[in-house]
Structures are given as structure tokens and as C-alpha cells.
Structure 1
């Protein structure tokens, strides 16, 4: 434990950031609904965050190299905190879209700072434990943060202030870490052609994950409200879907390392597809059926990003893994920009069940594409894979390095 003690401030900072971000995603959707925003406009606001996140992923490394970790973190945390308060002062769709775009840029940078700093501090002996603790912090912070909404209520100013406080307080642990400052990270290059050349299936898969999972995160609260759930039930609905994401990560990852990884991608996609059908046509307004359905959906849909990343790395040449990592995050961002926007228009036109009908159509298309790729390209034998399955967060490219085996860290 003593070897992990220097990492506690960084992990505490990550927990505060992840919790605040998870709370804000759900709260903004519900508050916008209460303020009279149309569902399509709520989708536009959600898209603002994802556009900003994509921009931040491209430019944040340059900012860290220019100003250092702590200065970058301080500036971005202050801007994100101010943006939260400005959303309270200017309750307007255009203003909220702008503030969410700014916050997307900031959070891409904030996560990159924490994860690049963690990468600089971990050793091979502490890497696995650090990764496990970080995933626990992620899961616990996002799940618990949802319940601040029914505890405080979506009306009034309190949750805006709490989110702003969380972003401000995230400065405290990282500011009190030891004086040693890690070296500036290597610049992350983005070449969108590389991932497509390495694996068209992984490219399409990352876009699909953005189209579907981001739509759930942005519009899941709108769906739950539309079928008559209380605020507490909405928080539970979102928590169940997020928590379920960890249940099948390792079983699916284990079998994907032993079998044709595309087969496991197909199984996970079919599971998410079947769960989406259940939510769209069977669950109706029954809360317990919806909880069961979203648990199954999260269990199958959430591991897809990690499975697609692992499949891309199966085909990557030595030295390409960093580019593949950047590419998977970038293409996920593209899907995350388009998905909530299109899904919100569907909800406006056809009602809450349209959210999962939309996802079912996207997932069915991805199943068909996966089958077509299996027919035109041989799978990589397990014995020839340089990198196994890794349970990844879509926070920054530096998380991929943190999760990588020691032998692959330098790629």
C-alpha cells in the first residue's frame, strides 16, 4: 500500500472529476427538460460536450507540453467550473450548447492531465493495482453521483453550485501532491487514416459505440422521464446501466483473447441488440422491467469499445499502437457527436421508445457489417496477438497507456 500512497491525490482528483462529470451529464438533460427545452434541443446541448471533447483530445497534449501538468489542470478546472455557473445564469439552449462545448474541451484536458501523470508515477509492480483502483473510483464516483439528483432536486441553483464546487475542489488533491512534476508527455498524433487501414471493423465499431452508448448517457434520463419514472428511479436507471458495464467486461475479454475476437464482438452486439428490443417493445412503463433491460444493455454494450480497441491492436504493426489508441478515441467522439443529436430528433418525433429503436437499428447494422468482415478477412490467431483485451475508459489516450502491459507501453 505504501507504494500506492503517492498516487492517492491523483486518484482522489480523478474521483471528484469523474463524479462531477457523471452527475452533470444526467442533471443537465433533466434540468433542460424542466426548463422547457425540446428533446432535439437537449440532444444538441449534449452534442456540444462531445464536440468539445473531440477538440480537446487533439490539442490537450500541446497545452500540457507548453504549460505543464498543474497549470494546465488549474486553468481547465477553473474554466469548467465557471461554465457550470454560467449555465445557471444563462438558461438558454445556445448558451448551454456553448458552455457544454467548453466543458468538453476542458474535461478532455483534465482527464489527460490526471492519466498522463498517473502513467509517469506508476511502476510495473503497481500498474495492475493502480488500474483496478482507478476503475473502482470511476464506477463508484459515477454511480454515487447520480443520487445527488433526487437528494437535492433538479430545480433551483443547488446542483449547479455542487458541480462547480466539485470541479474547484478537484484542484485540492492534485495541488497537494508532492513537488515532483512529471515530464511533459509525448505529443499524441492523430491520423484518422491509420485506424481504418488497420481495421475497418474497429473503426466502425468505435463509431457505433459513440452512436449508441453516448445516446444512452445523454438521453437515457429523457427516456426514463418520458415513461413516467420518478427522479429517484431515473437516477437508479442510469446507475444500473453504468454499473452493468463492468459485469461482462472480463468474461467477454477472456473469451475474446482465446477465440476469434470478432465473434465475441458479434455476441456482445447481439446482446445489446436483444436488450434494446426488450426495452423498446416489452418493458413499457414497468420500472423493474426497465431496470432489468438496461442492466442487460449496459452489460453487453459497454464492453464493445474495449473489444473493438483490442481487435484493432490485433492487426496493428509494431509502433502503431499509440496511433490506434488515438484513432479509437477520435472515431468514438465522431459517433458521440452524431448519436445524441439524431436520437433526440427521433424521440421528438416518436416518443421515448424511439431511443432504443434507434439503437437497435444501429446495432443490427453493425452485426451485419461484422459478419461481412468475418467473411472477407481471416482472424488473427490468439498466438500471434501482441496485446490482449484491456478494459478501457474513454477518457484520454493516456488511459490506454496506463492499461497497457509493460512491454507495450512505449508503442
Structure 2
């Protein structure tokens, strides 16, 4: 435990940020319904966040190099907190879109600061333990945060204030971190041609995951509200889907390290397709059936990002792994910008179940493309792979570095 103790302030800060971000995503959708926004408008607001996230990923390293970790974090936390308050002061779609865009920029930067700081402080001896704690913090904070919604309700000022308070309080633990701020990180380059040249399948996969999984995160609350769930049940529905994502992460990762990784990706894609089809066409308004369906969907769909990243790294040349990490996050973000918007228009036109009908179509396309790539390109032998499977968060490019042991890094 003494080896983790110096990292506790950073992990506490990460927990507050991840929980606040997870709460905000669900809450904004439900509050939009209460304010009378259409599903397509709520989808557009969600798109604003992901546009901001792309911008933040591209520019945050420049800011960190210019003013350092703690000042970058302080500035972004203050701006994100102000944006949360502004959303309750100006309740209209354009203001919400702009504020969510600002928050997307800020959260991309905040996660980058925390994870690059962790990466600078972690040692090879503490890396696995730190990652385990970090994933527990991620899972626990997002799950617990969902239940703030039924506790305080979606009306009024309360949850906006709680989100703003969380962002402000995230400054406290990081202020007690090691007094020596780490060296500014090397600038993360975004060359979108690199990932495509390394692995077209991983590129398409990251876009597909953004199109589908971000639609669930943004519009899942609207789907569950549309089929008549209570606020508590909505929080449970979202929590189950998120929690399920860790259930098959390591079994799928284990077999992907031993087999042709594309077959495991295809298996996960088909599993997610069947689960989405069950939700779209068979679950109806049954709460139990929807809970079972979303558990299966999360279990198969959420590990796909990590599998795509591992597949891309199988084909990456020495020196390309940092660019691959940046590329997978960038293309996921591109899909996440478009996905909620398309799904929301379909839900407006055809009802809540159109969300998972849309996801079925997206995953069927990806399954077909995966099969085509299996025939077009030989597999990388397991013994020739430079990196093993890693369970990744889509928070910043620095998480990929944190998850990579030195022996597997470029040149290792």
C-alpha cells in the first residue's frame, strides 16, 4: 500500500472527475427531456461535448507544455465548473451546446493532466496495481454517480451545483500531490493517416465504437425514459451497461492474445449485435428484459475499443505506438461526434427503440467489414506481437502510455 500512497491524491482527483463526467452525461439528457427539448436537440447537445473533446485532445499538450500541469488543471477545472453553472442560468439548446463543447475541451484536458502526471510518477513495480486501482475508481465513481440523480432529482439547481462543486473540489487532492510537478510531456501528434496505414480495421472499428457506444451513453437515458422507467431505474439501467463493460474485458483480451485478434473482435461485435437486437425488437417495455439486454450489450460492446487498439498495435512499427494511441482516440471521437446526432434523429422519427436498431445496423456493417479484412490480410502471429491486450479508458492518450509496461513501449 505504501507504494500507492503518493498517488492517492491523483487517484482521488480522477475519481471526482470521472464521477462528475459520468453524472453529467446522464443528467443532461434527462434534464433536457424535462425542459421540453426534442431527442434530436439533446443529441446535438451531446455532440457538442464530443466536438470539444476532439479539440481538447489536440491542443491540451501545447497548453501543458506552456504553463505546466497544475495551472492547466486549475484553469480547465474553473472553466468547466463555470460552464456547469451557466447551463442552469441559460436554459436553451444553443447555450447548452456551447457549454457542453467547452466542457468537452476541459475534460479532455483534465484527464490528460491527471494521467500524464500518474504516468510520470508510476514505476514498473506499481504500474499494474495503479491501473487496477484506477479502473476500480473509474467503475465505482461512474456507478455511484448515477444514483445522485434519483437522490436529488432532475429538477432545479441541485445537480448543476453538485457537478460544479465536484469540479472545484477536484482541485483539492491534486493540490496535495507531490510538490514537484512532472516535466511537461512530449507533444502528442495527431496524424490520422498513420492509423489507417497501420490498420484500416482498427480505424473503422474506432469510428464504429464512437458511433454506437457514445450513442448509448448520450441517449440511453432518453431510451429508458421513453419506455417508462423511473429515474431510479434509469440510473440502474445506465449503471448496469457501464459495469458490464468490465466483465468480458479480460477474458476477451486473454483469448485475443492467443488467437487471431480479429476473430475475437468479430465474436464481440456479433455478441453486441445480438444484444442490441434483443433490446430493439424483443425487450419491449419490460424492465427486467431491458436490464438483461443492456448487461449483455455492455459486456460485448465496451471491450471493443481496447481490442481495436491492441489490433492496431499488432501492426504498428517501432516508434508508431504513440501515434496509434492518439489515432484510436481521435477516430473514436469522430464517431462519437456523429453517432448521437444520427441516433437522436432516428429516435425522434421512430421512437426510443430506434436507438438500438441503429446500433444493430452499425455493428452488422462492422462485422461484415471485419470478415472482409480477415480474408484480405494475414494475421500477426501471437509470438510476433509487440504488445499484449490492455484494457483502455477513452479519457486521454496518456492512459495508453500509463497502461504500457516499459518493456513493451517503443524501442523496448
Assess same fold via TM > 0.5: yes
Structure 2 match to 1:312? 312
Q: Secondary structure at the match of 1:24?
A: helix
1:213 and 2:232 aligned: no
Say if 2:266 and 2:370, in contact at 8 Å, map to a contact too: yes
- Cα distance, 1:410 vs. partner? 5.0
Structure 2 match to 1:257? 257
Question: Could you tell me how far apart the structure 1 residues matched to 2:407 and 2:86 are?
Answer: 46
Question: Could you tell me how far apart the structure 2 residues matched to 1:393 and 1:44 are?
Answer: 24
Say if 2:392 and 2:399, in contact at 8 Å, map to a contact too: yes
Structure 2 match to 1:166? 166
Say if 2:76 and 2:106, in contact at 8 Å, map to a contact too: yes
Question: Could you tell me how far apart the structure 1 residues matched to 2:133 and 2:410 are?
Answer: 23
Normalising by structure 2, we get a TM-score of: 0.99
Question: Could you tell me how far apart the structure 2 residues matched to 1:134 and 1:320 are?
Answer: 26
- Number of residue equivalences: 411
Say if 2:320 and 2:410, in contact at 8 Å, map to a contact too: no
> Within 5 A, what are the aligned runs for 1:109-188?
109-188=109-188
Question: Could you tell me how far apart the structure 1 residues matched to 2:409 and 2:103 are?
Answer: 29
Structure 2 match to 1:14? 14
> Within 5 A, what are the aligned runs for 1:379-398?
379-398=379-398
- Cα distance, 1:65 vs. partner? 0.3
Structure 1 match to 2:230? 230
Question: Could you tell me how far apart the structure 1 residues matched to 2:405 and 2:301 are?
Answer: 25
1:27-75 C-alpha deviation (Å, 9 max, x unpaired): 0000001000000000000000000000000000000000000000000
- Cα distance, 1:178 vs. partner? 2.5
Structure 2 match to 1:337? 337
Structure 2, unpaired ranges of 5+: none
Question: Could you tell me how far apart the structure 2 residues matched to 1:227 and 1:331 are?
Answer: 32
**Structure 1 residue ranges (4+ consecutive) displaced by more than 4 angstroms after TM superposition:** none
Say if 2:83 and 2:103, in contact at 8 Å, map to a contact too: yes
Question: Could you tell me how far apart the structure 1 residues matched to 2:388 and 2:4 are?
Answer: 25
Structure 1 match to 2:71? 71
Structure 2 match to 1:41? 41
Structure 2 match to 1:273? 273
- Cα distance, 1:409 vs. partner? 3.6
- Cα distance, 1:177 vs. partner? 1.4
1:378-399 C-alpha deviation (Å, 9 max, x unpaired): 0101010000100000000000
1:5-24 C-alpha deviation (Å, 9 max, x unpaired): 11000000000000000000
Structure 1, unpaired ranges of 5+: none
Question: Could you tell me how far apart the structure 1 residues matched to 2:41 and 2:322 are?
Answer: 36
Q: Secondary structure at the match of 2:245?
A: helix
Structure 1 match to 2:298? 298
Question: Could you tell me how far apart the structure 2 residues matched to 1:381 and 1:409 are?
Answer: 19
1:282 and 2:282 aligned: yes
Question: Could you tell me how far apart the structure 2 residues matched to 1:164 and 1:181 are?
Answer: 25
Question: Could you tell me how far apart the structure 1 residues matched to 2:58 and 2:379 are?
Answer: 31
- Cα distance, 1:3 vs. partner? 1.3
Question: Could you tell me how far apart the structure 2 residues matched to 1:407 and 1:323 are?
Answer: 18
Question: Could you tell me how far apart the structure 2 residues matched to 1:83 and 1:42 are?
Answer: 17
1:326 and 2:326 aligned: yes
1:334-389 C-alpha deviation (Å, 9 max, x unpaired): 00000000000000000000000000000000000000000110010101000010
Q: Secondary structure at the match of 1:280?
A: helix
1:190 and 2:190 aligned: yes
Question: Could you tell me how far apart the structure 1 residues matched to 2:374 and 2:117 are?
Answer: 39
Say if 2:318 and 2:410, in contact at 8 Å, map to a contact too: no
Question: Could you tell me how far apart the structure 2 residues matched to 1:82 and 1:193 are?
Answer: 37
